[in-house]
């Protein structure tokens, strides 16, 4: 009896998790497309994708808050990003106090104006902002690094 | 004319590790040293203590990023989860390892390794009362099998929650493994590995 009940509970938990994974993948896919296109082509509205108190660590340089982010992205040379790979995971609810959050990691290459093409890794924590049944994913944190340049 | 007066934009200089505070630095370095001591020990079952019951883990190999990455990283490819290329929801689900037993079973099947802790560059990405997210970039070599002594580069994101005794418990783990560049191979394992008895906290690139 107990085994059956716990088996059913486990199956349900697994089914819920599967739903979260599916949701995370669809959100990550949409986000990766929008983020890099905005970065490359509409840089001045990029900070709209970030929460007010979002943090960025860019090659070891820490930036936080909308105003500082806007200043940082304005200063950054124009870019051409090619994302080849991304992965995502639902972040455990114990870490987020049940605030629906996903981890998105990306890698690819980027050519900044005036620099040679470089490979990079980047990761984001996205949190769901739901208003009127409409869910928008916003960046809570962003961490970017160049890979070592190939010789 | 006005446009001419703007200074040309340049990339900000690349810096070393970003920890945010000395306390976090000590906490994370201690965690990494303990984690990789077990990870590189030849028996990864001991990592069960490091993961939350409901932890997730996945591995990605960059798609056609470097020439021949497919052949030299063959051992990792069957578990590579690239959501950009992988459209089938069942496969997306299957390649995300969930619950600590599955995570540690998965990690135990990966090639045996030795990590160069001196190569690590760590960034603290996010911190709240309930969450700490940090990225580790570095190199390791395989110590067994047909790729013995091959140097690989990796980028790994850990999301951890506070645990007892000032410890950390991993809830999310995402690992990128790629071919190391010539420069990375030349620099790998140049510094002697820190000995746990004499220096409990290793000095990383800061």
pLDDT, mean over chain A: 91
The reply to whether residue A121 touches residue B126, judged by beta carbons under 8 angstroms, is: no
ipTM for the predicted complex: 0.92
Please say if the pLDDT value at position B40 is more than 90. yes
Confidence band of B191 (pLDDT split at 50, 70, 90): confident
Q: What SS3 class is residue B10?
A: coil
Over range A91-97, report the average pLDDT. Answer: 93
pLDDT tens readout for residues B121-156: 999 999 999 999 999 999 999 998 888 889 999 999
In a domain, A88, yes or no: yes
Q: What is the DSSP string of chain A?
A: -HHHHHHHHHHHHHHHHHHHHHHHHHHHHHHHHHHHHHHHH-GGGGGGGEEEEEEEEETTEEEESHHHHHHHHHHSPPEEEEEEEEEEEEPPHHHHTT--EEEEEEEEEEEETTS--EEEEEEEEEEEEEETTEEEEEEEEEEEEEPPPP-
Biggest alpha carbon distance in chain A?
69
The reply to whether residue A25 touches residue B92, judged by beta carbons under 8 angstroms, is: yes
pLDDT at residue number B146:
83
Mean pLDDT check: name the lowest of A128-132, B58-62, B123-127.
A128-132
Q: How many domains does chain A have?
A: 1
Please say if the pLDDT value at position B24 is more than 90. yes
- Alpha-carbon radius of gyration of chain B: 19
pLDDT at residue number B34:
96
In a domain, A35, yes or no: yes
Which of B80, B155, B188 is the mutation pick for testing A, counting most A CBs within 10 A?
Answer: B155
Over range A101-113, report the average pLDDT. Answer: 96
Question: Could you tell me if B21 and A63 are in contact, meaning their C-beta atoms sit under 8 angstroms apart?
Answer: no
In chain B, the domains with their CATH numbers are 15-187 (3.10.450.50)
In a domain, A140, yes or no: yes
Beta bridge partners of A112: A79
Question: CATH number of the domain that A41 lies in?
Answer: 3.10.450.50
Name the residue range of residue A77's domain.
Answer: 2-146
Please say if the pLDDT value at position A53 is more than 50. yes
Please say if the pLDDT value at position B49 is more than 90. yes
Quote the percentage of chain A above a pLDDT of 70: 93
The reply to whether residue B11 touches residue A115, judged by beta carbons under 8 angstroms, is: yes
pLDDT at residue number B154:
97
pLDDT at residue number A39:
98
Residues of chain B neighbouring A59 (CB-CB closer than 8 A): 12-15
Residues of chain B neighbouring A103 (CB-CB closer than 8 A): 133, 157, 159, 172, 174
In a domain, A151, yes or no: no
User: How many whole angstroms separate alpha carbon B30 and alpha carbon B70?
Assistant: 34
pLDDT at residue number B124:
98
pLDDT at residue number B198:
45
Quote the percentage of chain B above a pLDDT of 90: 71
pLDDT at residue number A32:
97
Over range B72-101, report the average pLDDT. Answer: 91
Over range A104-110, report the average pLDDT. Answer: 97
Residue among B8, B13, B184 minimizing CB distance to A148 = B184
Confidence band of B68 (pLDDT split at 50, 70, 90): low
In a domain, A109, yes or no: yes
């Amino acid at each position: 009896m107990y085994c059956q009940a716990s088996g059913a509970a486990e199956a349900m938990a697994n089914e819920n998790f599967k739903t979260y994974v599916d949701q995370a993948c669809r959100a990550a896919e949409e986000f990766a497309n929008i983020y890099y296109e905005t970065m490359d082509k509409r840089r001045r509205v990029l900070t709209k994708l970030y929460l007010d108190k979002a943090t960025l660590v860019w090659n070891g340089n820490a930036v936080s808050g909308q105003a500082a982010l806007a200043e940082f992205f304005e200063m950054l040379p124009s870019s051409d990003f090619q994302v080849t790979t991304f992965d995502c995971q639902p972040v455990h609810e114990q870490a987020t106090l049940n605030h629906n959050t996903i981890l998105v990691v990306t890698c690819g290459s980027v050519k900044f104006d005036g620099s040679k093409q470089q490979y990079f890794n980047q990761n984001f924590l996205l949190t769901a902002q739901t208003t009127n049944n409409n869910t928008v994913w916003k960046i809570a944190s962003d961490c970017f690094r160049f890979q070592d340049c190939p010789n | 004319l006005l446009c001419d007066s703007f200074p040309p934009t340049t990339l900000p200089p690349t810096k070393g590790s970003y920890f945010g505070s000395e306390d976090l630095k000590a906490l994370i370095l201690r965690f990494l040293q303990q984690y990789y001591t077990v990870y590189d020990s030849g028996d990864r079952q001991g990592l069960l203590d490091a993961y939350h019951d409901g932890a997730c883990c996945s591995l990605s190999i960059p798609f056609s990023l470097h020439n021949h990455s497919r052949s030299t990283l063959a051992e990792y490819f069957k578990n590579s989860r690239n959501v950009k290329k992988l459209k089938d929801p069942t496969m997306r689900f299957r390649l995300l390892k969930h619950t600590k037993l599955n995570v540690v079973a998965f990690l135990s099947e990966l090639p045996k390794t030795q990590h160069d802790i001196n190569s690590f560059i760590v960034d603290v990405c996010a911190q709240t009362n309930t969450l700490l997210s940090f990225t580790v970039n570095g190199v390791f070599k395989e110590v067994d099998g047909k790729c013995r002594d091959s140097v690989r580069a990796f980028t790994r994101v850990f999301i951890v929650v506070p645990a007892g005794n000032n410890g950390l418990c991993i809830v999310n783990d995402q690992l990128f493994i790629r071919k190391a560049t010539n420069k990375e191979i030349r620099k790998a394992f140049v510094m002697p590995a820190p000995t746990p008895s004499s220096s409990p906290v290793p000095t990383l690139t800061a």
